């Protein structure tokens, strides 16, 4: 197949980032997420890199490609028929893979038609990717939507370094085996030179699944590569005059009370319901906090066409109404719920103002909100309350680590965080910030790509 001026780095993901806006216009707010910030250093260090993904636009009568730029990176958007989007993205990826990978097997919807659409979409991706790679191109595939892509590329003759990174958890064998195509999924991953995970636990789960399903040791090199952020912009953004105005507005809206902050995509894995129930328990059991603390929960819209997420939004909004109805006063709204997206610059200002940042997923691959909050804090730092089930908990041990299923324990942790003295807060924050700086996005991408080059060399030499 003819190659269109192959790039030395091709990134492939389900969706493309927002490209550069037209001159003279401002970039729109983007959903909370870490892939763009995580990959930015790698893209900047590879001039001429390409990023390929679904265009996200309604499929025209004749599907094609959209083109754009993100700084020096070329963006190529693949059009997908609407019926394939529904079956592949809404059906298989979010109806089967997402719940299973996060350990919610009872939520998984198993449908052979959805699986077939998943394979067709990956075949469409493979045809486009093959036009932009040669034997020297490094191809870096991201996330569970594209498990089959590596095998399809290899079967079509791709010979360059081929890596895969999973941004969500990888489950133990008893959960993965619920999927009728578990063996196929593992064989798809084994086609890559390197398979990366956020934590050692996820990497061990993968190896054990290969042993039990395929009856052998993994052939693909695999390991933990905890994703990071670029901390410097958050420190800078949070200190800007415009940020101070945003922070003052938040403080004014909450009456200068103590502030707990949650920032998430709307998703049942993020533990939003659990953390709000814990806040309700705090107000029940610690009456001294009534009227003196506010909880601001930001939930960026996600998968609005999927019924599970419609129900999740309704449950959260009902819970917020119940808490405010039980405890609210004419001059105090206990919970402020904001169903919208914010830019990273705006979030830095909100992080800085928070006395406590509540990052309590019931299961998460990493969760970069925890690291963004740490990077945005200053001389009077707030406290990070972090779920033990977030990948970030493996690194950020100086946080107040909690079990989101334990409502009483969470309420006690809120009280501890809100009353923590400045010396302890300062010591904890300094240790957390050192880890955030050391485990930056640039280090993450550099480590992965270095190991990928070595793994590909081993394959060629074998």
d(CA 115, CA 337): 36
Q: Answer for the pair 210, 218: CB distance below 8 angstroms, yes or no.
A: yes
pLDDT at 4: 61
pLDDT at 373: 97
User: 159 in helix, strand or coil?
Assistant: coil
Is 88 among the residues known to form the active site?
no
d(CA 46, CA 181): 36
pLDDT at 249: 83
Is 167 among the residues known to form the active site?
yes
Q: Answer for the pair 160, 108: CB distance below 8 angstroms, yes or no.
A: no
CA-wise closest residue to 102 among 366, 401, 306: 366
Domain ranges in the chain?
A: 9-227+442-461, 231-438
d(CA 40, CA 322): 42
Both structure tokens of 272 = 């939003």
d(CA 4, CA 156): 16
Which residues have C-beta within 8 Å of that of residue 177, sequence separation ≥ 6? 212, 213
Class of domain 231-438: alpha beta
pLDDT at 21: 56
pLDDT at 306: 66
Beta 73-78 vs 65-70: how paired, if at all? antiparallel
Q: Answer for the pair 150, 189: CB distance below 8 angstroms, yes or no.
A: yes
Say if 9-227+442-461 and 231-438 have the same CATH topology. Answer: yes
Output the CA–CA distances (angstroms, integers) from residue 443 to 78, 138, 200, 366, 446, in the order listed.
Answer: 30, 18, 17, 16, 5
65-91: burial string, b at 16+ Cβ within 10 Å, e else: eeebebeebbbbbbbbbeebbebbbbb
pLDDT at 30: 42
For residue 4, give the H/E element and its range.
none
Paired with 335 in beta bridges are 295
Tokens 């979010």 correspond to 94
pLDDT at 258: 95
Answer whether CATH 3.40.50.2000 is correct for domain 9-227+442-461. yes
pLDDT at 304: 63
pLDDT along the chain (462 residues), means of 10: 68 87 48 68 89 86 84 93 93 96 96 98 97 95 98 96 98 98 98 98 98 97 96 89 79 87 94 98 98 95 72 93 96 94 90 96 96 93 98 97 98 98 98 96 94 95 84
pLDDT at 27: 47
pLDDT at 389: 98
pLDDT at 293: 97
d(CA 40, CA 363): 26
- Neighbouring C-alpha atoms within 13 Å toward the C-beta of 189: 28
Active-site residue identified among 142, 364, 429, 451: 364
Which residues have C-beta within 8 Å of that of residue 404, sequence separation ≥ 6? 271, 274, 275, 278, 360, 361, 362, 387, 389, 410
Both structure tokens of 286 = 């610690």
For residue 282, the 8-state DSSP code is: H
CA-wise closest residue to 320 among 310, 306, 334, 331: 334
Active-site residue identified among 46, 167, 222, 429: 167
Helix/strand/coil percent split, the chain, to 5: 50, 15, 35
């Amino acid at each position: 197949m003819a190659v269109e001026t192959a790039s030395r780095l091709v990134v492939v993901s389900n969706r493309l980032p927002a490209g550069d806006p037209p001159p003279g216009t401002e970039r729109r707010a983007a959903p909370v997420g870490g892939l763009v910030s995580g990959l930015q250093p790698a893209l900047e260090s590879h001039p001429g890199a390409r990023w390929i993904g679904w265009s996200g636009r309604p499929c025209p009568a004749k599907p094609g490609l959209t083109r754009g730029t993100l700084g020096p990176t070329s963006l190529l958007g693949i059009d997908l028929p609407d019926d394939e989007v529904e079956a592949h993205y809404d059906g298989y990826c979010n109806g089967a893979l997402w719940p299973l990978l996060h350990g919610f097997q009872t939520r998984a919807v198993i449908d052979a038609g959805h699986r077939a659409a998943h394979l067709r979409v990956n075949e469409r991706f493979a045809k486009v990717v093959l036009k932009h790679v040669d034997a020297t191109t490094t191809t870096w595939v991201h996330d569970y939507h594209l498990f089959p892509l590596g095998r399809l590329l290899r079967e079509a003759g791709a010979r360059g370094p081929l890596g895969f990174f999973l941004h969500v958890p990888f489950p133990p064998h008893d959960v993965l085996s619920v999927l009728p195509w578990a063996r196929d999924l593992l064989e798809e991953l084994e086609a890559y030179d390197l398979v990366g995970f956020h934590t050692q636990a996820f990497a061990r789960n993968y190896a054990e699944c290969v042993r039990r399903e395929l009856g052998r040791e993994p052939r693909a090199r695999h390991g933990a590569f905890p994703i990071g952020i670029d901390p410097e912009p958050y420190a800078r953004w949070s200190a800007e005059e415009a940020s101070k105005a945003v922070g003052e507005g938040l403080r004014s809206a909450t009456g200068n009370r103590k502030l707990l902050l949650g920032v998430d995509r709307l998703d049942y894995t993020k533990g939003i319901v659990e953390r709000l129930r814990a806040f309700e328990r705090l107000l029940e059991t610690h009456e001294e906090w009534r009227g003196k603390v506010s909880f601001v929960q930001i939930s960026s819209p996600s998968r609005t066409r999927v019924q599970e997420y419609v129900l999740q939004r309704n449950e959260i909004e009902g819970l917020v109404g119940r808490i405010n109805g039980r405890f609210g006063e004419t001059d105090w709204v206990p919970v402020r719920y904001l169903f919208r997206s914010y830019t990273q610059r705006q979030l830095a200002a909100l992080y800085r103002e928070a006395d406590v940042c509540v990052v309590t997923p019931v299961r998460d691959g990493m969760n970069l909100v925890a690291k963004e909050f740490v990077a945005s804090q200053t001389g009077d730092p707030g406290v990070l309350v972090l779920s033990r089930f977030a990948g970030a908990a493996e690194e950020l041990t100086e946080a107040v680590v909690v079990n989101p299923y334990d409502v009483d324990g969470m309420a006690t942790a809120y009280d501890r965080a809100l009353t923590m003295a400045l010396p302890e807060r300062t010591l904890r924050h300094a240790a957390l910030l050192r880890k955030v700086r050391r485990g930056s996005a640039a280090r993450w991408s550099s480590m992965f790509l270095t190991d990928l080059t070595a793994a590909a060399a081993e394959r060629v030499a074998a």
